[in-house]
Amino acid sequence: MASVLKVDDLRGNTAAGNITITDGGGNVTFALTEGLTKTYVAYHTDSGTAQKSNDTLNVSSLTDQGVGQTDINFTNNHSHLYYASSDSGGDGAAGYSTWMSSDALYHGTNVYRCATGDATFSSRDGDYHSMQTYGDLA
């Protein structure tokens, strides 16, 4: 019979942030926290800059930094500058692309700047963007 563990707070005993789990294939173990998404948000920038819903993680606020430029401010900071991330956006008509800012002023442990542009490589706002981050928090 399958068992279900119901608990509100799960943490490592030896080290609070290290809980080992077995992957779906059954042959590989890894630290649970290594795989968890640490930030996510879906938002729009075409009618002001705002979240699409309240279904976000670790986002304290969004800051409009101009056309196609949005700062995602974190509630809890990453432990270092070089965390992995992904983002996307587009509407099919504008030929969107997205990219992250390489400028350290705009890419910090406490903030990630998303940039969106159109098919002519000009900055452009849109009605649906999303981003995620991965890696350790401070």
Partner 1 sequence: MASKLDVDEIAAKNGTSPVTLTKQSPSKFRVHHSGDTPTTNESFNMSSLTENGVGDYTYTFTNNFNTVHFSTVATSTEDGTIGYVTMYYARGYTRSASNVRLQGIDQGSNYEDGAYTSAVAHGDLA
Residues that bind partner 1 (CB under 8 A): 2-3, 5-14, 18-30, 32, 34-37, 80-88, 97-103, 107, 115, 117, 121, 132, 134-135
CB of 35 to partner 1, least distance (A): 2
CB of 49 to partner 1, least distance (A): 19
Angle at 92 between CA 37 and CA 53, to 5 degrees: 40
Decide whether 47 or 58 has the Cβ nearer to partner 1: 58
Backbone angles phi, psi at 37, to 5 degrees: -70, 135
What kind and span of H or E run contains 34? helix 32-35
How far is it, in rounded angstroms, from Cα 116 to Cα 108?
18
Decide whether 27 or 54 has the Cβ nearer to partner 1: 27
